[in-house]
């Protein structure tokens, strides 16, 4: 399959010097933009079921099993070793052993940050502006503007204006030295 060659070429590339292997890989995606940043290694099943918005930042070791549509919004950051799994297998061994598989889409809306070693399961939507903590296993939808973490992942708290004010102040201090 051509996607396998594109994955191999990208994963063995000097991605920081030569963007051609990344551009080749991107050509298999349903949608993506030139400002996509992705650090190898990366793996996907097909690529054609993946849509990625503008200003995507993907750290090393991302795995997307895209048997169903995976939609990633604008300004999404993913830490290392994030896995998105759309396939679903039957719990019953007698049915599972017949190689039955289904898949459900995953949606990650705009301005979401997914920290390292997070697993996102089939059928999940993570709403705009949310943050998923390291090591979480996301098995259900996450509402807008919250910090969620754990196994299973659950909402810890809402991200409020006070949080924004603190980071804006730190950002200004950083810029001004």
Alpha helix (H) residue ranges in the chain: 2-11, 20-26, 93-96, 161-176
Distance, CA of 147 to CA of 2 (rounded, Å): 39
The side-by-side arrangement of strands in the sheet containing 37-38 is 37-38, 57-58, 77-78, 113-114, 131-132, 146-150, 153-158
Q: Is 140 a catalytic residue?
A: no
Contact between 133 and 154 under an 8 Å Cβ cutoff? The reply is no
Rounded to 10 degrees, what is the CA torsion of 146, 151, 152, 153? Answer: 10
Please pick, among 30, 46, 89, 140, the residue that the annotation labels catalytic. Answer: 89
Catalytic residue annotation: 89
């Amino acid at each position: 399959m051509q996607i396998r060659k594109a994955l191999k070429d990208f994963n063995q590339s000097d991605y920081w010097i030569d963007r051609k292997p990344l551009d080749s890989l991107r050509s298999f995606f349903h949608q993506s933009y030139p400002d996509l940043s992705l650090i190898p290694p990366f793996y996907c099943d097909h690529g054609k079921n993946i849509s990625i918005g503008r200003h995507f930042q993907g750290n090393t070791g991302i795995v997307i099993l895209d048997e169903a549509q995976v939609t990633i919004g604008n300004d999404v950051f993913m830490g290392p070793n994030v896995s998105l799994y759309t396939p679903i297998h039957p719990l019953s061994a007698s049915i599972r052993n017949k190689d039955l598989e289904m898949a459900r889409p995953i949606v990650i809306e705009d301005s979401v940050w997914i920290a390292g070693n997070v697993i996102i399961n089939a059928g999940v939507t993570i709403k705009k502006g949310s943050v998923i903590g390291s090591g979480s296993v996301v098995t259900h939808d996450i509402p807008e503007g919250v910090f969620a973490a754990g196994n299973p992942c659950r909402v810890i708290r809402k991200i409020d204006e006070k949080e924004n004010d603190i980071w804006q102040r730190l950002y200004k201090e950083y810029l001004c030295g």
